[in-house]
Each structure stands twice: as structure tokens, then as C-alpha cells.
Amino acid sequence: MYYPAPIAKLIESYMRLPGIGAKTAARLAFFTLDMREEDVNDFAKALISVKRDLHFCAICGNIAESETCTICQDTSRDKSQVLVVEEPKDVISMEKMREYKGQYHVLHGVISPMDGTGPDDINITSLIQRLHNDEIKEVIIATNATTEGEATAMYLSKLIKPAGIKVTRLAHGLSVGSDIEYADEITLLKAVEGRREM
């Protein structure tokens, strides 16, 4: 279908977002067209601000407004633990729990030969440099329970263990409120492996 150039360009821009197809992009574009100009300007400013005002923490790779993120600046955090995650959004998820008080390290991806992503393409080098700090006693690997996440976890474990630092992995398994009969075999296996004494 023919759209005027500004709408067509906006639809194309929305389609670059993950999970947005042509129909959803068109719906968002026409919604944007109906928005007040002030709201559209605020939306545009927010997009520009995210790109201009945020960058990655020089220590852990999390998103930050200054050279280091607020977590790395917090002197009350436990410096002996580093929890390794795939993306900055994973840090936010962990922080919502309000129980973990250690440090973080963001990889910005996982090892995925199928996608052409190797160890040098993600934030591993700075993690290894951080481990030279005598304060770090444990690295908790919290990559996702995908093939790529597991491969990355194994790679990191083999890289870190020779330094005499304890390497642990988050337990995976059944979510709270789920039924065993609906769980797949891998989820059940991870639930059994991650069991704990009562």
C-alpha cells in the first residue's frame, strides 16, 4: 500500500525495533500522527537523550550517565562478588529483587558461532582484568539458559577457575506456580540439578 513519504519512513523506522512487524509499525506510525506535537517532541527528545547522555560504565559495562555507573560508585556493595549478565536490562532485573549486594559485569551479548560472535566480540577482556583485583572471591555467571548462554558460561568458567576464583552458576528450573506436567525436559533437568537441601 502507498503511504506518504513521512509515514512510510516512520513505519520503516518502527520496523527496525525487535518484534515489530509491518502491521504493528503502521499502527504505531498512525498513532504517532494522532499524538499532540508536544508529546511527539518529548518522545523524540527522549530517544536522542538515550543515545547522547548514556554510555557504558568503564568498570562493569552497565549503562551509566557518568564514567562509572551508580552501582560501581556505591561503596557499600560487596566487592568480593561479581555477577556476570548478558545485557544491562539483566542488571535492572536483578536489582529489582533487592537481595543481591555485590558487583556486576555486563557482557553485551553471548558467544554465538552461528551469529559470528566470538569471545573477542563481547565484554570478556575487561572482566578478566577486573579479576586481578584480590578482593574478588566469587564470579556468579547469570547468562540465560540458552545454548549460547550455556556455552558462554562454560567458556567463562574454564577461563576463570585457573585463577583460583570460585565460579558459580545461577540455578535454572521450574518457575514458582508452574506445573511439572507442562515443563519441558531441560527445565526439569535444571530444576533437579539446582535442587537444595530443606
> For all residues of the chain together, what is the average pLDDT?
90
Query: Which pLDDT value is given to residue 175?
Result: 73
Model pLDDT, residue 198: 47
Question: How far is it, in rounded angstroms, from Cα 92 to Cα 195?
Answer: 26
Q: What is the mean pLDDT of residues 30-50?
A: 96
Q: Which residues pair with 141 in a beta bridge?
A: 84, 169
| Pick from 12-16, 131-135, 140-144: least confident | 131-135
Task: Note whether 15 and 101 are same-domain residues.
Answer: no
Considering the domain architecture, whether residues 13 and 84 belong to the same structural domain is answered as no
CA Rg, the chain, in Å? Answer: 21
Mean pLDDT of 30-52: 96
Q: Is residue 10 part of a domain?
A: yes
**Domain of 20: which CATH number?**
1.10.8.420
Asked if residue 69 is part of any domain, the answer here is no
In this structure, what C-alpha cell is assigned to residue 35? 499524538
Q: Are the C-beta atoms of residues 29 and 12 closer than 8 Å to each other?
A: no
Does residue 45 share a domain with residue 83? no
Q: Are residues 97 and 135 in the same domain?
A: yes
Task: Clarify whether residues 89 and 149 are in a common domain.
Answer: yes
| Length, in residues, of the chain | 198
Average pLDDT over residues 122-140: 92
| pLDDT reading at 197 higher than 50 | yes
Answer whether residue 66 is part of any domain.
Answer: no
Give the C-alpha separation, 44 to 46, whole Å: 5
pLDDT at 187 over 80: no
**How many folded domains does the chain comprise?**
2
Same-domain pairing of 84 and 138: yes
Distance CA(140)–CA(157), nearest Å, equals 10
Determine, yes or no, domain membership for 124. yes
- Do 85 and 161 sit in the same domain of this protein? yes
Lowest-pLDDT choice from 19-23, 45-49, 191-195? 191-195
The Cβ-side half-sphere exposure at 191, using a 13 Å CA radius, reads: 13
Q: Express each pLDDT in 89-104 by its tens digit.
A: 999 999 998 889 999 9
Residue range 27-45: mean pLDDT, rounded: 96
Residues 86 and 146 in one domain: yes
> Could you tell me if 102 and 173 lie in one domain?
yes
Full residue range of the structural domain in which residue 150 is found? 78-179+185-191
Say if 31 falls within a structural domain: yes
- 78-85 and 55-56 beta bridge pairing: unpaired
CATH number, domain of 127, equals: 3.40.1360.10
Mean pLDDT of 55-62: 96
Whether residues 40 and 105 share a domain: the answer is: no
Contact 149, 84 (CB under 8 A): no
- The Cα-based distances of 171 to 142, 147, 163, 177 in angstroms read 9, 15, 23, 17
List, for residues 150-176, the tens digit of each pLDDT value: 999 999 999 999 989 999 988 777 676
For 68, the 3-state DSSP assignment is coil
In a domain, 62, yes or no: no
Classify residue 130: in a domain, yes or no: yes
Residues 167 and 107 in one domain: yes
Residue among 137, 149, 139 nearest 190 (CA): 149
Q: Residue 116 falls within a domain, yes or no?
A: yes
